[in-house]
Amino acid sequence: MSGRPRVAIIGGGGGGLALAAFLAAADIEADVYEQASQLGEVGAGVQLGPNGLRLLDRIGLGDQVRGLGTELLPGSTYRRMDGAPTTPIQTTDSAGAYSAYGMHRADLISLLAGGVPADRIHTGKRVTAVEQSTGEATACFADGSRISADVVVGADGIHSVVRAQFAGSSEPVFSGTIAYRGLIDADRLDDWPPQLSELWMGQGKHFLVFPVRGGRMLNYVGFIPSDDRVRESWSAPGDPDELRAAFAGWDPRIEHVLARVESCFWWGLYDREPIDTWTHARVTLLGDAAHPMLPHLGQGVNQAIEDAATLAAMLRHHGAEVTTALEGYESLRLPRTRVMQTGSRQFGARFDRSGDARELDARDAEIQSARDFRLWIFDHDAASAADDAIRETHALS
């Protein structure tokens, strides 16, 4: 289809920058508008799954992931609170061709931004509204400026202004859990196994550790229950002594990690109920703006990358017919992300299950049996799925 659309992306986090990188690779004009004064992420880790890495390879960013991150190897393990192993953590796709990687969020943001022309990223731009006409969509900003494009994509997170305007302003759902997180230099931990992800499950809480930055640092997260609806924040300072107390008596390896924690942060875990549509004429949603999910599948950023690859493929193919492109994008992505949102809740509940020995045995068996679900996630190629859908449309026309 002739013509290349102009795209305005609201939000310069992982999802927005991923979309800009995929669009740049497709030679589609796209600008990113980020409300913060500069790009960046606080110090924390994220797991990039095989399904995300496969797509970044397609636009030449995969080798940077391998250079900046840490490959998570087989031998990674789910454990009970005392350290007893229960079942392996799946770290590769079914062919063993792609692995999961532990990434520092700042490194991931930096490499995604590197795939976008620098003059296409605009900071200090807080969106207040999006308007539409027959031929274009216009984003309005708090500084009084306005920009118009053929497509506006809301990639502005769980509190998306774009979502609130076009899909309603339902409240985020508090999970009843808060997460303490931080980073520790690996050389402060004697004999810690490199390149492994470990997750301990106990009564109403769980604890996760995985390496980042080539194994030089360990990312840890302690998930604990809270009766209070706490604020969301990636940077609220936490109390290391409270974190240590929450996991006192667990596996000595956890106590070994927490004894070296000097500072940490916490955030409340929220998601939203799935919605039935993301797209309204020339405006659509991506990433957390479309499908915010809890972190228990480690798929938040990976699903945003899948969104980005799919939307770029649809816009590349359909050209000036942007409403057709956005409808095709939503039809492919909405069902899969709905499963991810539900699955993330279910996995969190499993990790935190309380009960007697029989109930915990059942929990462990459920996690073991979920290997096929993990492989369904990891084996997916969103770009190929988009190409297949485009070919099918041609065949039917």
pLDDT band, residue 280 (cuts 50/70/90): very high
Closest-CA residue to 341 (of 397, 273, 395) = 273
Same domain, 303 and 284: yes
User: Does residue 333 or residue 268 have the better pLDDT?
Assistant: 333
Q: What are the E-state strand segments in the chain?
A: 7-10, 30-33, 45-48, 70-71, 77-80, 85-88, 101-104, 121-122, 127-132, 137-141, 146-149, 151-154, 173-185, 198-201, 206-212, 217-225, 236-238, 264-271, 283-285
Is 106 within the bounds of a domain?
yes
Q: Averaged over 333-354, what is the pLDDT?
A: 95
How far is Cα 81 from Cα 207, in angstroms, rounded to an integer? 9
List the domain range (segments joined by +) for residue 165: 7-171+273-396
The last residue of one of the domains, among 251, 271, 291, is: 271
Q: Is 295 exposed, middle or buried (0-12, 13-18, 19+ CB in 10 A)?
A: buried
Under the banding of pLDDT at 50, 70 and 90, the label for residue 231 is low
Residue after which a domain boundary falls, among 271, 304, 331: 271
Residue 244 has pLDDT above 70, yes or no: yes
Rounded CA-CA distance 110/36 in Å is 15
Backbone angles phi, psi at 357, to 5 degrees: -60, -40
Query: What is the average pLDDT value for the chain, to the nearest integer?
Result: 93
Do 258 and 247 touch, CB atoms closer than 8 A? yes
Confidence of residue 42 (pLDDT cuts 50, 70, 90): low
Shared domain check, 264 and 207: yes
- Looking at residue 190, its pLDDT comes to 81
pLDDT value of position 1:
42
Same domain, 55 and 167: yes
Ranking 121-125, 227-231, 344-348 by mean pLDDT, the lowest is 227-231
Burial class (CB in 10 A: 0-12, 13-18, 19+), 310: buried
Return the H-helix or E-strand segment holding 385.
Answer: helix 382-396
Task: Mark which of 212, 238, 271 sits at the end of a domain.
Answer: 271
For residues 232-260, average pLDDT = 88
Contacts of 7 (CB under 8 A, 6+ apart): 19, 23, 28, 29, 30, 31, 149, 150, 151, 152, 153, 315
In a domain, 1, yes or no: no
In whole angstroms, what is the distance from residue 314 CA to residue 322 CA? 9
Whether residues 31 and 147 fall in one domain: yes
**Do 67 and 167 reside in the same domain of the chain?**
yes
pLDDT value for 20: 98
- CA gap 295, 302 in Å, rounded: 11
Give the 3-state secondary structure of residue 52.
helix
Same domain, 166 and 303: yes
Compute the average pLDDT of residues 117-129. 97
Binned at pLDDT 50, 70 and 90, residue 234 comes out as low
Nearest-CA neighbor of 15 among 126, 141, 157?
A: 157
Has residue 325 been placed in a domain? yes
Q: Is 274 helix (H, G, I), strand (E, B) or coil?
A: coil
pLDDT at 38: 86
State the pLDDT at residue 396.
66
Look at the chain and report how many structural domains it folds into. Answer: 2
Tell me if 68 is assigned to some domain: yes
Stretch 54-58: mean pLDDT, rounded? Answer: 98
Residues 165 and 250 in one domain: no
Q: What is the largest CA-CA distance in the chain?
A: 65
143 and 186 belong to one structural domain: no
Mean pLDDT value across residues 156-172: 87
Structural domain includes residue 2:
no
Q: What is the pLDDT of residues 95-106, one digit of tens each?
A: 999 999 999 999
CATH number at residue 266: 3.30.9.30
CB burial string 122-156: b at 16+ within 10 A, e below: beebebeebeeeeebbbbebeeeeebebbbbbbbb
Query: What's the CATH number where 91 sits?
Result: 3.50.50.60
Tell whether 216 is covered by a domain. yes
User: Are 281 and 349 members of one domain?
Assistant: yes
Task: Tell whether 191 and 306 lie within a shared domain.
Answer: no
pLDDT of residue 44: 84
147 and 238 both lie in a single domain? no
Q: In what order do the strands lie in the sheet with 137-141?
A: 127-132, 137-141, 146-149
Taking 80 as the threshold, does the pLDDT of residue 41 lie above it? no
User: Do 157 and 11 meet the contact criterion of CB atoms below 8 Å apart?
Assistant: yes
| 61 vs 40 pLDDT, higher one | 61
Q: What is the pLDDT of residue 248?
A: 96
Are 261 and 283 within one domain?
no
Q: What is the chain's Cα-based Rg? A: 21
pLDDT tens digits, 354-395: 888 899 999 999 999 999 999 999 999 999 999 999 988 777
The number of C-alpha atoms within 13 Å of 279 and in the hemisphere containing its C-beta is: 17
